[in-house]
Structures are given as C-alpha cells and as structure tokens.
Amino acid sequence: MFGLGMQELIIILVIVLVLFGATRLPEIGKGIGQAIRNFRKGMSEPDEIDVTPKKESKKEKIEKKEEAEKKEGE
C-alpha cells in the first residue's frame, strides 16, 4: 500500500547524505543496526523472573505463628 520504490529510497538517501555528510553515514548505519539487533534480542529473550518478596497475608502470618508455637511446644 505505502511501499517505498527505488526513487523514494534514492531521494531519502540523498537527503540523509546532505544533512549528515558522508563521514557520519557509517556511524548512523552502525547505530541503527545495533538498535535493531538489540530490539530483536529483547523480543526473543524470555521475561526476567520477578524475585521481589511478596507481602504475607494475615492468614499466612497467623499460620506461621501457629507453626512456630507448635515447634516450641515440642
């Protein structure tokens, strides 16, 4: 639908060349390549495991307290 043809790509390349100069084009290309690589890597890696401790409910606190009292009584 909105595909870029060869003429559009050449026009964009000329504009980029005029704006940034020929010496900076390799740096820009390298930066874009690294960004794409990091994005793909981030999308393919599994989510990190959440290791933050969860808050105990009142019921869990009471159960732990009862278990501790049973162990003391033994």
Task: Give the per-residue pLDDT at 56.
Answer: 72
Any idea which residue has 């999308």 for tokens?
A: 43
Separation CA 26–CA 30 (nearest Å): 6
pLDDT digits (tens, 9 = 90+) for 13-54: 889 888 888 888 888 889 989 999 999 988 887 777 777 777
Read off the pTM. 0.43
Task: Give the per-residue pLDDT at 34.
Answer: 94
CB 39 within 8 A of CB 47: no
Q: For the chain, what is the domain count?
A: 1
Taking CA atoms, 66 is separated from 53, 56, 69, in Å, by 22, 15, 5
52 is a domain residue: no
66 is a domain residue: no
Task: Give the per-residue pLDDT at 64.
Answer: 84
62 is a domain residue: no
Chain length of the chain: 74
Task: Quote the tokens at residue 43.
Answer: 């999308």
Task: Give the per-residue pLDDT at 74.
Answer: 64
56 is a domain residue: no
Which residue range is the domain that position 22 belongs to? Answer: 1-46
Task: Give the per-residue pLDDT at 3.
Answer: 75
